[in-house]
Every structure is written in structure tokens, then in C-alpha cells.
Structure 1
Amino acid sequence: MRFFPAVASAVLGLSVAASTLAADLIPVDDSYTISQRYARYKDQYAGISWPVSEFQSGQTVLFDRLYKTVGERELHVDVFLPLAERRTGQGIVLVHGGGWRSGGKSHFYALANRLAQRGYAVLLPEFRLSPEAPYPAGLIDVNDAIVWAKSQAADFGFDRDKLAIGGASSGGQMAALLAYTADTPLFKSTPTDDTKVSALIDIDGVLDFTTPLALQFENAAGDKSAAGLWLGGAMERVPDRWREASAAQHAGPQSPPTLVISSGIPRFTAGREIVETKLKAQGIRYRYARFENAPHDIWLFDPWFSQIVDQIDGFLTEK
């Protein structure tokens, strides 16, 4: 665990009282990195490679745009915009993974860049992770990022009613939960906030924590599991919170069209069948794409990365 200063007053060389500095530090778990995952997978998956990111002439990327403050804590969004002539009018908010406690928005740079080149305005929010603030803080942050994104839609060249949300791993779980609760006051700073999204893309994100498959893994370490640390305790201690945080429990007639992309490892999309049954019963567009012999982190590496871009693009342009 590392700690980083939350405010500029803690920069190197400035004399700050130890007690003040300690209060300004943000705990950061940087144990989940792309290079670490590549080292784990490179001898296991033939043909695995880092996706190549190239910028097009005239392409715009806006880094660290402030969308929210919590006290003196700033939260930022990175924005990848398409060329004006390629705009689809569709925006996408992507929520990074990392077990609700690690990772960062930069993990989605390659995907955001490629989708922007397909014509999408892509927004990558920073949000509070469990070492800093447990459930539901990060969910409230991402909803605030959605509200902010809609307020900037005209400047960023997309229709505020065509804003999708997506995410990978824990970010996929969060994206699904927010998409399916957008018609409720849950996870909103203000009950009337417009957080409705036009589509959901869940890449290997758990959809129901309460299923036997999810509990076998997510609750195995009890209070000390990644989910337990985020939710404030094991399933046995806070069962209502585990149910509330399960997107499948909220799926219904208000849910947006949904694309679930699976690495083929069933635990990471636990609850998918529940969601599929509910959405299909309501006539809501639903697609399930599954890879075989792939690692969990399919959004980070080729050959899966490029196929995921095609899957997202195809789903969002499908009528």
C-alpha cells in the first residue's frame, strides 16, 4: 500500500506538519498493473501481445478534467474524442477494474483511444477505491461523473441521451449496478440526478454476488476478500449490502440494452443467466459474447482486445 498527497500543499520541499500531511494522504493500492498481468500470462497464452495505440491527426485527448471535489479531494476524468467528421453522437463512460481497491483510469487508455477512432466520445473517470472510501463511495462518484458528462455533451460532441456505461471486472460490476439502478435514488448525490444510460457493456464483471458461484470466490476470504473489503464485511455479516450491490437484483423493465463480454471464466460473470432471463422477458436487447482459452484481463491484450472493440462497436451501432 502506498500513500500519495491529496493536495498541492504536500508537494516535495514544502514544510508541512506531519499531522497535517498525514490527513492529506490518500491510500493507494498499486498491486494491480498491466505489466504484472502480462508477465503472468505471456508464457500461458500463445500470441498474447500489447495492443498498439496510435493517435490520428486532429484527434483530441483531454486529461484530468475536474468533475467533482470531496472536501479537498479532487476527482478527474480523461476524455478521448473522435475526429469531428467521424462522430457517431454516442458517448461511453468506462469504469476501470482492479478489485474495487486498485487499478486506474489509464488502464483503459488503449480501449478508449481505439473506440474514439471509431467515432465515440469516451470518458474515463477516476473514483474513490476501497482503501480510501468503501462502498458506496465509488458508485456515487461514477454517477456524478455521468451527470458531469451529460452537462458537457455539447462540448464533447455527443448526444446526452446517447451515453453508455461500460467497465471491466470490478468496473463491469459497478457499471452494471449503476445502469440497472438509474431509475432509483441509489448511489446518487441528489435523488433527481439524471444518470440514465443508453446501453451497458459489462466485460467480465460479476452480476450477482449472492449466487453460489460468486460466493465461492468473492466471499472465500470473508471480511478480507476484495468484495468484503469494499462492501464492509463478508456476506454473512452484511447480507443486505451484498444483495443491494448485485446488479441482477435490480434488472427489470427500466434496464438498458446490455452486452456481456466474458473471458470464458464463469466466476467473473456470475449471475449472467439471471440478468439474461429478466431482460429477455422484458424484450430488452441483450447480447452475450464469450471467449475461450482467454485470461481474465481480455480488455488489456490482443488478440482479445481488438475483438472487444469490434463487439462494442457492433452492439452500439446495432438497431
Structure 2
Amino acid sequence: MKKVLAIGGIWLIGLLLLVGLFLSIWIILPAPIFSLLPFSVGAPEISPGLLILNGLVTVAIAIGFWLRGFRYPKLFCGTLCLSGLALVLSASPLLQFSAVQQQAQAAIATSLGRDYLQAIPPALTAKMRPQPLVIADIWSGISIPNVRVDRAIPVANPDGIQLSMNIYRPLSVGKHPAIVSIYGGAWQRGTPDSDDTFNRYMAAQGYVVWAIDYRHAPTYHFPAQLEDVRSALMYVKQQAGEYETNLDRVAIIGRSAGSQLAMLAAYQDPPFPLRAVIDYYGPVNLTAGYENIPTPDPIESRATLRSFLGGTPQTVPALYRQASPINTVKPGLPVSLLIYGGKDRIVEAKYGRNLAQQLRSQGNRVVFIELPWADHAFDAVFSGMSNQLALYYTERFLAWALISVDS
């Protein structure tokens, strides 16, 4: 029986070693194909858990060989090296976190002012995330109080396609600042429910969140999507009073494809003034994105762009220019927050950095934050490391832009 238990323990430790190593490799390895993207996105976000797993496996290996008198030194060294590699990989995001958080803090202080938090009402500050990272929340989740939600509100019916929106409101009745939220999905998929957790979180912070919809490629090519976003903004303008929205204090946020639409809508004479733009890993220069595809290329970027724009930069160059937010930069734009993942091979961080430089050169305020371990759609793991840091600065940025005593 002891022999059976010992063999079972060895197999269990071996299995845990392989699982921990396999998942930890995706912390640094970008996904080569779309089906592997969940590993590349998720592994960095749960890396503290992987660090614990790999640490326990390393200790178990050492104890196991010690109990056997180190009779198989080559096997011991081999397994210990593998577990050590997994341990180092899983520790890397945490080892980088402090420096990245300091860089993010410096970026926001440089743009908004070192005393920007003093302009935010203390009652609102008390509701925000207390730290950029709370390890326990990775497992327990981020708590979200109850909010009021109106779903599937019909907005428009272009070409027979029913477009709707969800509206998320705080429990307290009154006029609130607002956020217009645009989902991503390569312009081909998604609904107003797509970012439900984030939208409920922000509503609990005191915002009215308008989660809008748009027609999808390849059935509809650009600029149909932008036209739908502008129609949704017109609806916000018309219905602001009914849904307790202070139209003088509105920001717009998008993710990936939704960010591209959000920036275009905000930077090109929206139906009413927008105070702030938040871009999570959005495409910035579609011509450059087509001509310089990333390596690896998990979503087949050129096919995605052809589906969206109906051709290549050679066949429809004007549409590529028109759809690129970097070509719309001018003085006097709303303050912008840009957050990109350094491991992203769908929209590389360099494009966000270039947009930030272009905005600054035109005298605009912009905050650029790069998370070196994060992949595209990092916030899909809502309580993960990357989204905790992004959320920490997003809610402070929004409070400064929409609620602060100086805004």
C-alpha cells in the first residue's frame, strides 16, 4: 500500500509540475493561434496563483527526493530545473508590478497634476479600489454592489438591423455623470452585454453607463459602425433627462475595436461635448496595422481589416485613413487615457504609444499606461492583475475628468 501511495504521489507531483509549467509558459509566450489566446490572456492574470502552485511543487519535489536519499540525481536535477523555470515565469508579473505601477502613477500625475486626487470628493475616493493590486481579490473576485439595469432598449433600426443598448444606473436617484461604453470583438461580434461586469462596477461608483451597439462586419463595412455610434450618442443626448444623466459630464470608453470607434466619435465633433476618452488596446493606425502585421498573428489581422473596411490599403486607402484615429488628432481634444498590453500581438502597444505622442504634440492631455505582461483583452479576467491596475487608474481618471471639483 505504501508503494502504491508513493507511486500515486509521484504521478500527482509530475502532473502538477506539467500543468504549472504549461500555464506559466503562456505568461511570456504570445498565442500563435486564436484558440490558444485564452491561455496567453489568462495566465498572467492568475500568475500569483501559479506562483503558489509552482512553489508547492518545487518543495514537494525536493522533499520527495530527500526522502528517497537523492537516489536519482539526474531525474532530481531535471525536475527541479523544470519546476524552477515555472516558478520564475509565474513570479515575473509580480516582480514587474511595482515598477509598472510607479510608471503609471508618474504618467497620470504628469498629465493631470500631482495633486489631481485632491480635487476628487473624499466620498467618491472612499468607494474606489484601495490598492492597485489586492492579491486576495484574484480568487474572491471584485465586489460589485447592486445597481439598476435597463436592458435591450431599442435605439435604431438601420437597414432593418435592430440596435439596442443597456443602461446601468446607481441605486441613488438623481442626475449623475455618465460613461458611454462600446464593446470590442474585431467589429464582427459582441453585444451591449459584453462588458456587463465593468458596466455594473462603474454604475455602482455613481455613473450612468450607456452600453451601446453597432452593426457588424463583414455584412456591414466601415463607416456603418461609426454612424451607429453617432446615432447612439444622439439617443444619449435626447434621453439624458429620462435616464438621470448629466450631459455636461460624459466620457466614452471602448475596448479593442470599440476603442477605435470611441476615439473616432470623440475626436470628430460628437453630438455633444465629451470630457474624456478611455482607450483599452484599440487600433490606432489601420494602414500600418495591415502593412506590418504582428508576429504571431492570432486573429489574422489582414483578413479582419479587409472584413471591416471591404478591401486593402491599396484598394480603399481613403477608408483606411478615415478609420484611423491617429489621423483625427488635433488641438483641443478631450483628455485621453490609453492602456495597452506589452505582450499584445493583436494591437501592439507601440501604436498606443505613438497615439499618445501625437496627442501631446498637439497640446492635448493624455495618459499612456503599458502593462508589459498583459495580452489583448486582459480585462476579460476582471479580477486579474492587469485589470486591477487598469481599474485603479481608470476610476481615478474618470473621477478627475467628470466629478472633481475642478472639472
Q: Normalized against structure 2, the TM-score is what?
A: 0.60
Report the counterpart of residue 287 of structure 2 in structure 1.
210
Gaps of 5+ in 2: 1-34, 50-137, 401-405
Report the counterpart of residue 272 of structure 1 in structure 2.
352
Q: SS of 1:252's equivalent?
A: coil
Report the counterpart of residue 317 of structure 1 in structure 2.
399
Report the counterpart of residue 284 of structure 1 in structure 2.
364
Which of the residues 126, 132, 149 maps onto 1:61? 149
User: For 2:192 and 2:139, how far apart are their aligned partners in 1?
Assistant: 17
1:156 aligned onto 2:243: yes
The ranges of structure 1 where at least 4 consecutive aligned residues each deviate by more than 6 angstroms after the TM superposition are 220-223
For the aligned residue pairs, the C-alpha RMSD in angstroms reads 3.0
Q: Assess if the C-alpha contact under 8 Å between 1:169 and 1:268 holds in 2.
A: no
Report the counterpart of residue 187 of structure 1 in structure 2.
none
1:151-171 residue CA offsets vs partner (Å, 9 max, x unmatched): 222222221122211111111
Report the counterpart of residue 73 of structure 1 in structure 2.
161
User: For 1:118 and 1:291, how far apart are their aligned partners in 2?
Assistant: 24
Q: SS of 1:196's equivalent?
A: coil
Shift of 1:97: 0.8
1:255 aligned onto 2:333: yes
Which of the residues 264, 268, 274 maps onto 1:197? 274
Shift of 1:36: 8.3
Which of the residues 291, 301, 306 maps onto 2:388? 306
User: For 1:209 and 1:286, how far apart are their aligned partners in 2?
Assistant: 21
User: For 2:194 and 2:36, how far apart are their aligned partners in 1?
Assistant: 12
Shift of 1:65: 0.6
Q: Pick the structure with more helix per residue.
A: 2
Report the counterpart of residue 134 of structure 1 in structure 2.
221
1:197-229 residue CA offsets vs partner (Å, 9 max, x unmatched): 221100000111233x663128x8999611111
Which of the residues 289, 302, 321 maps onto 1:243? 321
Report the counterpart of residue 105 of structure 2 in structure 1.
none
Which structure has more relative contact order (CA 8 Å, sep 6+)? It is: 2
User: For 2:257 and 2:43, how far apart are their aligned partners in 1?
Assistant: 25
User: For 1:285 and 1:317, how far apart are their aligned partners in 2?
Assistant: 16
Shift of 1:82: 1.4
User: For 2:311 and 2:213, how far apart are their aligned partners in 1?
Assistant: 24
Aligned length in residues: 272
Do the aligned partners of residues 113 and 222 (structure 1) sit closer, same or farther apart at CA in structure 2, a change above 3 Å counting?
closer
Q: SS of 1:138's equivalent?
A: helix
Tell which deviates more after alignment, 124-133 or 275-284: 275-284
User: For 1:41 and 1:208, how far apart are their aligned partners in 2?
Assistant: 23
Shift of 1:243: 1.0
Question: Which amino acid letter does the alignment assign opposite residue 263 of structure 1?
Answer: G
Q: Pick the structure with more strand per residue.
A: 1
User: For 1:216 and 1:282, how far apart are their aligned partners in 2?
Assistant: 26
Report the counterpart of residue 98 of structure 1 in structure 2.
185
1:2-55 residue CA offsets vs partner (Å, 9 max, x unmatched): xxxxxxxxxxxxxxxxxxxxxxxxxxxxxxxxx985466445652486884766
1:127-164 residue CA offsets vs partner (Å, 9 max, x unmatched): 10103311111111111111111222222222112221
User: For 1:36 and 1:263, how far apart are their aligned partners in 2?
Assistant: 17
Q: SS of 2:285's equivalent?
A: coil
Shift of 1:283: 3.2
Report the counterpart of residue 7 of structure 1 in structure 2.
none
Question: Which amino acid letter does the alignment assign opposite residue 203 of structure 1?
Answer: Y
Q: Assess if the C-alpha contact under 8 Å between 1:80 and 1:116 holds in 2.
A: yes
Q: SS of 1:90's equivalent?
A: strand
1:228 aligned onto 2:306: yes
Report the counterpart of residue 190 of structure 1 in structure 2.
none
1:290-316 residue CA offsets vs partner (Å, 9 max, x unmatched): 112112112211222233222221112
Which of the residues 186, 200, 206 maps onto 1:119? 206
Q: Assess if the C-alpha contact under 8 Å between 2:222 and 2:319 holds in 1.
A: no
Shift of 1:195: 4.6
Report percent identity of matched pairs. Answer: 24
User: For 2:220 and 2:226, how far apart are their aligned partners in 1?
Assistant: 11
Q: Normalized against structure 1, the TM-score is what?
A: 0.75
User: For 1:254 and 1:51, how far apart are their aligned partners in 2?
Assistant: 42
1:50-76 residue CA offsets vs partner (Å, 9 max, x unmatched): 88476635x200000111112432110
Shift of 1:104: 2.6
Q: Assess if the C-alpha contact under 8 Å between 1:111 and 1:309 holds in 2.
A: no
Q: Assess if the C-alpha contact under 8 Å between 1:96 and 1:171 holds in 2.
A: yes
Do the aligned partners of residues 41 and 200 (structure 1) sit closer, same or farther apart at CA in structure 2, a change above 3 Å counting?
closer
Larger radius of gyration: 2
Gaps of 5+ in 1: 1-34, 184-193
